């Protein structure tokens, strides 16, 4: 199916940016890391000075949580990219997204043995307080190539609010530490600690420990799948669902589908460079890509994992990862469903304000979350 016309202008800017970055990398021999998705990086380069100033000012007055305070400071350049990415994300919500409803939220800081504490935010499907009766819950992980993003990003926050309200499920968002300041396996260990915390405190949180799932988008899908594996290997808490959206589940790159990239008119070598950059930033050591908690599809066994719903996009090189993981789960006897959305790209889910496919995506996510009510 042809690419949806909505993406035409974005694709043109993405191609220009990626080619420019590749040429710059050749000039510098090894290039420099990309700390955001191509569209976000383009926004950094073109952002008005006033917008950059506002992003810096907002960052200076932001109150840092204990979990954030314990983390090493990013480099000046990396911090600037993240501030601008946050500003870009805020603008995207206003232009192409859908604001989230005013649901009740609470925040906690979860200790993680041997790693930095992690902040979590619980989004209840109610307003003004927690529900009267325990509700199902889903531990969820944001996307951002392991190196940008967070639970405070406006599109992420809005999605969690809408999903909680529409599905009647508490979304427990994990603000895992970013690479390269904190590499693998820190985010996975933080995710697993948050899962154990959720079960241990379910009663006081108003959550139903018998109806819990995990979810994640892109890099967050990797972490969600890894947490499900780690839970099976360590504690076997009763998870009922894996909801994985455009997940990357093999950081060796074996399942990357460059046919999607060619369909966008982006040279394969340029996309390979981007994907390798993501993996190297998160892992540090190339050998770690073969570890099951870094590349869940490479696990020796995927048996006894919770049922999975996997959503992929036609014009996304990660579509091969999602399809391969669904097939591997099915072969291991796990109930797994994979759906590919035609004519759309990796970030489709954020465009609910302007794109019918994104609204369909949201509806399908909500339908998957609602299965927890029947668990």
Specify the 3-state DSSP secondary structure of 141.
strand
What is each CA distance from 357 to 15, 88, 142, in whole angstroms?
23, 22, 20
Q: Are 304 and 232 in contact (CB under 8 A)?
A: yes
Q: Which two tokens stand for residue 218?
A: 């892109």
Q: Which two tokens stand for residue 36?
A: 């955001």
What is each CA distance from 317 to 57, 272, 324, in whole angstroms?
36, 10, 12
**Residue 62 and residue 234: Cα distance in Å, rounded?**
37
Q: Are 174 and 141 in contact (CB under 8 A)?
A: yes
Q: Tell me, yes or no, if 250 is annotated catalytic.
A: no
Q: In 3D, which of 57, 105, 81 has the Cα closest to residue 178? A: 81
**Residue 335 and residue 88: Cα distance in Å, rounded?**
38
* 185: number of Cβ within 10 Å: 20
Q: Tell me, yes or no, if 346 is annotated catalytic.
A: yes
Catalytic residue among 87, 218, 295, 357: 218
Q: Which residues have CB under 8 Å from 20's CB, separation 6+?
A: none
Catalytic residue among 250, 316, 321, 347: 316
Instruction: List active site positions.
Output: 218, 316, 346
């Amino acid at each position: 199916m042809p690419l949806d016309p909505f993406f035409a202008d974005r694709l043109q800017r993405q191609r220009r940016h990626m080619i420019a970055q590749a040429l710059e990398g050749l000039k510098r021999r090894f290039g420099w890391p990309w700390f955001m998705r191509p569209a976000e990086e383009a926004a950094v380069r073109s952002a008005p000075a006033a917008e950059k100033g506002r992003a810096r000012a907002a960052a200076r007055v932001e109150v840092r949580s204990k979990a954030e305070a314990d983390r090493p400071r990013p480099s000046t350049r990396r911090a600037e990219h993240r501030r601008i990415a946050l500003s870009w994300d805020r603008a995207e919500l206003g232009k192409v997204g859908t604001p989230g409803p005013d649901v009740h939220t609470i925040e906690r800081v979860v200790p993680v043995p041997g790693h930095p504490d992690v902040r979590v935010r619980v989004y209840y499907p109610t307003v003004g307080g927690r529900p009267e009766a325990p509700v199902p819950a889903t531990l969820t992980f944001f996307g951002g190539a392991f190196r940008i993003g967070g639970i405070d990003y406006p599109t992420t926050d809005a999605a969690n609010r809408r999903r909680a309200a529409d599905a009647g499920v508490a979304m427990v968002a994990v603000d895992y530490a970013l690479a390269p300041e904190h590499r693998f396996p820190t985010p996975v260990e933080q995710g697993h600690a948050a899962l154990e915390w959720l079960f241990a405190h379910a009663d006081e949180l108003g959550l139903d420990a018998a109806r819990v799932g995990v979810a994640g988008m892109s890099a967050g899908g990797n972490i969600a799948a890894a947490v499900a594996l780690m839970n099976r290997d360590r504690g076997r808490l009763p998870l009922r669902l894996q909801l994985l959206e455009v997940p990357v589940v093999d950081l060796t790159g074996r399942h990357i589908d460059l046919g999607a990239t060619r369909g966008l008119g982006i040279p394969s070598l340029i996309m390979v460079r981007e994907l390798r950059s993501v993996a190297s930033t998160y892992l540090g050591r190339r050998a770690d890509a073969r570890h099951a908690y870094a590349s869940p599809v490479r696990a020796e066994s995927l048996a006894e994992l919770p049922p999975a719903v996997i959503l992929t996009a036609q014009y996304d090189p990660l579509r091969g990862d999602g399809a391969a993981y669904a097939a591997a789960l099915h072969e291991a006897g796990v109930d797994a469903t994979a759906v590919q959305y035609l004519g759309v790209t990796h970030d489709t889910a954020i465009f609910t304000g302007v794109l019918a496919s994104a609204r369909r995506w949201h509806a399908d996510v909500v339908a998957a979350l609602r299965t927890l009510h029947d668990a």
